Amino acid sequence: MDRLVSLAAGLGFILSAETLVLLGNGSGRGGIGFPALILAASALHLWVASTVFSHPAGPEHELGLLKQALGGAAAVILPLASRAAVAVMMATGLLATAGFVFNEVFVYWFPNFLFAFLLLGLILFVNLAGKGLWRVFQLLVVPTALAGLAVLVIAGIFSAQQPADASTSSLGAGAWLQLGFSAVLVLVGYDLAIFSSDTLSGKIVRSPAGAVLLGGLVLILWGGVSQQWVPPGDLAETTIPYTVAARAILGQGGRVIMGIVILAGTGGAVNAAFGGVARMIAGMSNAGLLPVFLGKKRFKGRIPVLLLTAATAILLFSGMAGSSHFDAYLRGGLILWLIHYAALLYGKFIMGLRTDPLCPAGVIHGVGGLMLGGVATGLWLTAEKTGVTAVFMVVVVGAVLILILLWNGLNRTRNSGQ
C-alpha cells in the first residue's frame, strides 16, 4: 500500500491539466517526434529518480546530499524555492481550470470560482485530517485520472478514426530545441513520491522511478492518440488540447470523461503538492534549518499546509490564474525545480569526486547535471516573457534567503543571550 500511495503522489503533477496542455501543444507542433522526445526525457529523469530519489533515507538523503556538497543554505533554498513556488502557482492555475471544467461540463449554473474554493477547502481538510485520509484521497483521484485516460486511449486506438490532416509543418532546429525543453518539463514532479510518508522504511523507494516510467508511457500514448484524431494545427494552438482530442474520439462522452480526468488530476496534483511540500518544510524545521513552529512538534506539522492554502486562496481571489504573467511565473517555478534536480546530480558528482574520482557513475551524474542545467537555461531564454520569469525566480529565491537570514540571526541572538 505504501508503494501505491508513493506512486500516486509521484504521478500527481504528471497527470495534471497543465501537463496535458504542454503535451497536446507539443504533439501538435512536433508530430510523432514529440513522443520520441518525451521518451528521451524519461531516460534522463529516470536516472535522477533511480540514483537520487530512490535512496532508503528518502527526504533525509536529499537534504544531507545538498548540505554536504553545496552547504546548508543551498539545502533550504533549492528545494523550498522550487517546490513551494510551483505548489502554490500550480494549485492556483489547476483549481481555476477545475472550476471552469466543472461549470462547463457538469453543472452549468454552478459558479466556477466557488467550485475552485470548495475544492481547495476539501484538499485542505484532507491534509489537516491526517496521513490516513490523505493517502486514501490520493489513491482515489490518481487512479481515476489514469482510468479515464486509459479509456480514451483505448477508444482512440480501436475506434474508427475520423479523417484528420496529419501533415505537420517543417520545424527548424530552434523549434525542435524548444520542444525538447518542453518534453523534459512535462515529467517534473515525480520526486513528490518520497514525501508520501512521515516515516522512513529503510528500504529502497522505487516509486519515483515508477512514476517516471508510468507517467511517461501514459503521456506518450495520449499524445500519439491525440495526433491521430486532431489536426496538428488545432492541437498546437488550442488552450484545451485534451478536451478537443477527447471530444474527437468519443464525442460528448469523451468530453465528460476528460472532465473527470481534469478534476481528478487536479485533486491528485494539489493534494500531492500540499502534502509533499508541507512534509518537506516540517522535515527542514526538525533539522534546524527552518523555524521551529513549521515543524512536526507544533500543531502536528499543520502550519505549512495552512500557509500553502492561504497563499493559494489569496492568488485565486486576486485573479492570478487569469493574469497575462501567470504562465511566466509558473515557468519560473518549474525552471527552479529543474535547477534543483541539476544541483542534486551535481552534488552526487562532487561527493563522488571526494571518494572515487574515476567512478563512471560520478561522471554520468556530472553530465546529467549539466544537461538539466542547460535545459533550465534554455527554458528561460526561450520564454515569451524572459524578464518576468527572471524577476519571479529572483523574488522567490530572495524571499527564501531572507527567511534563512532571519532565522539564523534569531538563533545567534538566542545563543548569545544564554
**Per-position DSSP letters for 352-372, written without gaps between them:** HHHH-TT-HHHHHHHHHHHHH
**CA–CA separation, 324 vs 320, rounded Å?**
9
CA–CA gap between residue 41 and residue 300 (Å, rounded): 38
Q: What DSSP character marks residue 102?
A: I
- Residue pair 351/357 in contact by the 8 Å Cβ criterion: no
What span, in angstroms and rounded, lies between the C-alpha atoms of 309 and 304? 9
Q: How far is CA 294 from CA 277, 298, 355, 415, in A?
A: 12, 7, 35, 20
Enumerate the H helices of 52-130 as residue ranges: 59-70, 72-79, 85-101, 112-129
Once rounded to an integer, what is the mean pLDDT over residues 273-299? 87
Sign of CA dihedral 371, 279, 115, 321: negative
Query: What per-residue confidence (pLDDT) applies to 251?
Result: 93
The dihedral sign for the CA sequence 236, 237, 243, 249: negative
Q: Between these two residues, 412 and 20, which has the higher pLDDT value? A: 20
Q: Please count the other Cβ atoms lying within 10 Å of the Cβ belonging to residue 414.
A: 9
Number of Cβ atoms within 10 Å of the Cβ of 85: 26
Are 372 and 338 in contact by the 8 Å Cβ rule? The answer is yes
- For the stretch 345-392, pLDDT in tens is 998 888 877 776 666 767 888 888 999 999 999 999 988 889 999 999
- Distance from C-alpha of 392 to C-alpha of 397, rounded to nearest angstrom: 9
Expressed in angstroms, the distance from the first to the final Cα of the chain is 48
Q: For residue 330, what is its C-alpha cell?
A: 509558473
Task: For residues 225 and 35, give the distance between their C-alpha atoms in angstroms, rounded to a whole number.
Answer: 11
| Residue 19 near residue 13, CB atoms below 8 Å | yes
**pLDDT for res 160:** 61
d(CA 389, CA 398) in angstroms, rounded, equals 14
The sign of the torsion formed by the CA atoms of 30, 31, 37, 42 equals positive
Give the Cα separation of 351 and 405 in Å (integer).
Answer: 27
Reported confidence tier of residue 104, pLDDT bands at 50, 70, 90: very high
Q: For residue 319, what is its C-alpha cell?
A: 485573479
- pLDDT, one tens digit per residue, over 243-262 is 999 999 999 999 999 999 99
Q: Where are the domains of the chain?
A: 2-417
Taking the C-alpha atoms of residue 315 and residue 117, their distance in angstroms, rounded to an integer, is 11
> pLDDT confidence of 85, banded at 50, 70, 90?
very high
Q: 189 is written with which cell numbers?
A: 514532479
d(CA 273, CA 90): 9
Please state, in angstroms and as integers, the Cα–Cα distance from residue 245 to each residue in 218, 252, 286, following that order: 15, 11, 47
**Would you state the pLDDT for residue 202?**
54
Where does the pLDDT of residue 418 fall: very low under 50, low under 70, confident under 90, or very high at 90 and above? low
pTM: 0.93
Higher confidence at residue 263 or residue 357?
Answer: 263
User: Which residue type sits at 348?
Assistant: K
More confident residue, 126 or 130: 126
**Tell me: the pLDDT tens digits for 177-199?**
999 999 999 999 999 999 987 55
Task: Report the range of poorest mean pLDDT among 38-42, 49-53, 174-178, 355-359.
Answer: 355-359
What gap in Å lies between CA 384 and CA 386, rounded to an integer? 6
pLDDT at 117 exceeding the cut of 90: yes
Please tell me the total number of residues recorded for the chain in this structure. 418
pLDDT at residue 182 in the model = 93
- Cell numbers 524519461 label which residue? 42
Give Cα separations from 330 to 91, 164, 238, 249, 310 (angstroms): 10, 33, 19, 30, 18
Mean pLDDT computed over every residue of the chain: 89
What is 2-417's CATH topology?
Amino acid/polyamine transporter I (1.20.1740)
Q: Nine-digit cell at 345? A: 546530480
Residue 57 is classified by DSSP as: T
At residue 296, the pLDDT reads: 78
Rounded CA gap, 46 and 48, in Å? 5
Residues in CB range of 80: below 8 A, 6 or more apart: 280, 281, 284, 400
Look up residue 232 and give its three cell numbers: 496538428
**Percent of the chain topping pLDDT 70:** 92
